[in-house]
Structure 1
Amino acid sequence: MGTRLKDKVAIVTGAGTSGEGMGNGKATAMLFAREGASIVAVDLNLDAAQQTVHAIEAEGGRVIAIAADVSRSEDVRAIVDQTVTRFGRIDVIHNNVGIEIAGDPVSTTEEDWDRVHAVNLKSVFMMCKYAIPHMEARGGAIINVSSVASIRWSPVPYFSYHTSKAALNHMTRVIARQYAAKKIRCNVILLGMMDTPHIRTYYRDLPSDEVAKIMRQRDAHCPMGRQGTAWDAAHAALFLASDEVQYITGAEVVVDGGLTL
């Protein structure tokens, strides 16, 4: 066990994994726990969150699971209340939840637009709204998870996803500036092409050899010759959560293997 987050309390949303393997949220929760943090593993799917709990407890970490829809104000308030009741404080918030629904500016429905922005953007607003008052006395770290799709055009028509993540980038800057004097740092990670269970759900109906071919094509598209892993995302989050970066706030940390260069 490490000590980079010793005695810290971290809320990780989207801490479960959609399918087999290691997702970004689960890897981050596990890495935070390995570095000494007590973890609140939040996921819409309680079973998925419990799998993360089992993995952390097997390594001797402290963790609880909470099932919640982070787009709902009452659920987010309950997450914060349960965290403070159980652990007495909040030091780190890792806003990892995100969804995408296909559609361009014409084909996207109003309902899909609202749902994507509620999950990707409103959830972060609500978490900050209820958690920041518990962080103001001693400071802390807020890490938001965005995408390189927020800063560049993508041929994949996820219009509402792209706009929600672009707004998240600026929300990060606004929060960082407002709370800098109170030692609350807020930074955002822009992920590139990742090989995670979430990505593979797009291809779940394809034969395994076809999926392997698609993954090789995705790897080849990245300058480093491979997609990112959940651990690449988690290590970036650990860096931003740690006290090593007490003078970094409002930053966009691009984790994409050179994709946007």
Structure 2
Amino acid sequence: MGERMAGKAVIVTGAGSTGQGWGNGKAAAVLYAREGGKVLAVDRRIAAAEETAAIIAGEGGTAVAFEADVTDPLEVLAMVKRCVDVFDRLDVLHNNVGIAETGGPVEATLDSWDRVIRINQTSVFLTCKHALPVMEEQRAGAIVNVASIAAIRSLGFPYAAYSASKAAVIAMTRNMAIEYAPKGIRANCVLPGLMNTPMIRAPLTASYGGDVDEMIARRDAQCPTGKMGDAWDTAYASLFLASDEARYITGHELVVDGGITQKCV
């Protein structure tokens, strides 16, 4: 166990993986706990949150599973209250919830657009809305929002709603960073590139002919490193931004992409 998050209470939304393996939220929750953080592992699927909490407990860490739909204002309020009730404070809010649905402006349905914006963007608004007053009272806190390189680059894939939602998260984070800097609160984004996580399986496989191995091979080939990153790459970047090591960093977008955005001009 490390000490980079010692004594800090951390909310991780989307803390359960959508399938077998390590998703970004699951890895982040476990890593925060390994570094001494006390984690409220939040997911709309309580079994997934409990699985993550069990991993943390099995490693000697502290975690509480909590079921919440972060697009529901009342459930978000209850989530923040639960963290304060259990851990007496809230030091880090890690927003990881997100979905990817394909389609450009013509192909995407309005229902798909609304769903992606609500889950990826509105959820961040709601969690910050209820977490910030707690942090403001403490005169300290850090927010880490997981965005995407899709917000700043096109990789030739039709992602209208996803790109728009992640770009909005970046803009919102910058705005919060300036507003709350005098109050001791930092806000930053992590922008993962092409990552090999359970999330990519369902929404993307069909676009690659329904073959998972083909999808992975083609995405690996797009990366300058010859291989996609994984959830731990996102988690370690998040840990840095959440920790006191990044105490003078706010309003920043940390790109974690193996260099792929340097190829896209």
- How many Å separate the matches in 1 of 2:213 and 2:35? 34
Runs of 4+ in 1 over 6 A off after TM superposition: 203-206
Give the superposition deviation at 1:114.
1.6
1:210 Cα deviation (Å)? Answer: 4.1
Listed one character per residue, the Cα deviations across residues 86-126 of structure 1 (whole Å, up to 9, x for unaligned) are 11100000000111222211232222222111111111111
Checking the alignment, whether the CA contact within 8 Å between 2:100 and 2:203 is kept in structure 1 is: no
Equivalent in the alignment of 1:252: 253
Which residue of the partner structure matches residue 50 of structure 1? 50
Task: State whether structure 2 residue 169 is matched by structure 1 residue 168.
Answer: yes
Aligned position for 1:35: 35
Distance 1:193 1:205, change over 3 A: closer
How far has the Cα of 1:201 moved from its partner?
2.8
Deviation at 1:182, TM superposition (A): 1.1
Tell whether 2:236 aligns with 1:235.
yes
Q: Cα–Cα, structure 1 residues 203 and 107, in superposed 2: closer, same or farther, change >3 Å? A: closer
The yes-or-no answer on 1:144 pairing with 2:149 is no
2:109 and 2:197 map into 1 onto residues whose CA distance is 27
Cross-structure match for 2:121: 121
Q: Gapped runs of 5+ residues in structure 1? A: none
State how far apart, in whole Å, the 2-side matches of 1:242 and 1:65 are.
22
Look up the match of 1:64.
64
SS at match of 2:187: strand
Equivalent in the alignment of 1:134: 134
Could you say what the CA RMSD is over the residues aligned between the two structures, in angstroms?
1.6
Partner of 2:76: 76
**Alignment-derived partner of residue 198 in structure 2:** 197
- Per-residue CA deviation, residues 172-195 of structure 1 (Å, 9 max, x unaligned), is 100000000111010001110000
| Identity fraction in percent | 52
Aligned residue number for residue 155 of structure 1: 156
Opposite residue 85 of structure 1, the aligned amino acid is D
Aligned length: 259
Contact 2:102 2:203 in 1 (8 A): no
Matched to 2:255, the amino acid is V
Unpaired stretches in structure 2, ≥5 consecutive residues: none
Whole-angstrom CA distance in 1 between matches of 2:206 and 2:221: 23
Give the alignment's TM-score, normalised by structure 2: 0.94
Q: Is the 8 A contact 2:8 2:36 kept in 1?
A: yes
* Aligned residue number for residue 99 of structure 2: 99
Aligned residues of 2:101 and 2:162 also touching (Cα < 8 A) = yes
Q: Which moved more, 1:118-127 or 1:98-107?
A: 98-107
TM-score by length of 1: 0.95
Deviation larger for 110-119 or 40-49: 110-119
- SS of 2:10's equivalent in the other structure is strand
**Counterpart in 2 of 1:223?**
224
1:106-148 Cα deviation digits (max 9, x unpaired): 2322222221111111111111111111111231110000111
Residue 203 of structure 1 and its aligned partner are, at CA, apart by: 6.2
Shift of 1:153: 1.9
Deviation at 1:152, TM superposition (A): 1.3
- Following the alignment from structure 2 to structure 1, what is the Cα–Cα distance between the partners of residues 139 and 33? 20
Residue-by-residue CA offset, 1:154-183 (whole Å, 9 max, x unaligned): 322221111011111110100000000111
The 2-side partners of 1:86 and 1:204 are apart by 40
